[in-house]
Amino acid sequence: MKRHAWTLLALVSFAAVGCNTHEKELNAALSEAKSTAAEKDSLLTEVLAVSGFVNDVNKELAKAKGIGPATQPTADRGVPGPQRDRELRTETLARIDQLITRLNTSETQLSQAKSRLGTMRKKDARLLAQIDDYQKTIADLKASAEQQQAELQRQQGEIVALKEQVDTATAQNGRLTVSNTALTDTVSQLTTEKNRVYYVVGTKKELIAKGVLTSEGSKFLFFGGHHLEPARALPTEAFTPLDKTKDMTIALPSQDKEYKIVSRQSADYLAQSSMKDGKVHGSVEISSPDSFWAASKYLILVED
């Protein structure tokens, strides 16, 4: 009887040990199943997130491709316009940087998940194959994003270089405009100076007093005499300026008096209607300005 009790006790103990071992294995399997399910959920969430992010970036890339390279920065009309195109490229580059960072993170997470699944006793071949596919997809996306990044950076570089060229050309054009303006002003001043002439009208006494005329010569008894000559240093302030190309008629102070030219101009270049007995009356009508003023820029008329 005692022997049977010991045998029964041994059987019960063996059954208990067997149950405990089976329960541990079952718990381990359940734990691995839960881990696998969690990995699947995590991977699915990550892939969906990356796919959505990629779709958003692809839309922005399509916009950036559509605007083409900016070849006329000077046509900038503000926003929208070439300025907005440049801003869109900059924004798209920033989004591509974010995408590449996100893809790098996903690559790391997939590698870690693959390592964890590899340590499990029961391998999930299907899940591992999915991870391989995800890794390839992400690698392809990353290569495409880096290619787009390089292309946009190249376009940005070309735009910056082109804008610098335009700015340089604009600055040079500005300097050229200033130079041309200065040259035009100089030519205008020279032309005005070239065409400027002067005249003065007055009695002998008035003109001598102003320093315009001087009485030269000497007289002894009945020999010799005095004659009027323009002063060697003419006082410009006593004269009235004219433009010889425009002012070809000079009105005289008194219509009933006659005036004599005592400067070097020749009356041959005056209209005959203004001459009488070799003297000028009414007004001075110049028929050939260049020839008339060639002898002197200063015309002196003395009231007779």
Is residue 198 within 8 Å of 243, Cβ to Cβ? no
For 80-127, write each residue's pLDDT tens digit: 556 677 777 788 788 888 878 878 887 887 787 777 767 765 666 777
Q: Which tokens sit at 269? A: 């270049």
Q: Domain spans of the chain?
A: 26-190, 203-303
Please state, in angstroms and rounded to a whole number, the distance separating the CA atoms of residues 284 and 301. 10
CATH fold of the domain at 26-190: Methane Monooxygenase Hydroxylase; Chain G, domain 1 (1.20.58)
- Residue 9 is predicted with a pLDDT of 52
H or E element that contains 173: helix 125-195
Beta bridge pairs of residue 16: none
pTM tops 0.75, yes or no: no
Is residue 284 within 8 Å of 250, Cβ to Cβ? yes
DSSP state letter for 263: S
For 199-253, write each residue's pLDDT tens digit: 999 999 999 999 999 876 554 444 445 678 899 899 999 999 999 999 999 999 9
For 266-292, write each residue's pLDDT tens digit: 989 998 777 777 789 889 999 999 999
Is residue 95 within 8 Å of 187, Cβ to Cβ? no
- Please check the confidence at residue 166 and state whether its pLDDT lies above 70: yes
**pLDDT tier for residue 12 given thresholds of 50, 70 and 90:** very low
For 19-39, write each residue's pLDDT tens digit: 555 666 656 556 666 666 666
- Torsion 51-52-53-57 (CA) sign: positive
**pLDDT tier for residue 304 given thresholds of 50, 70 and 90:** confident
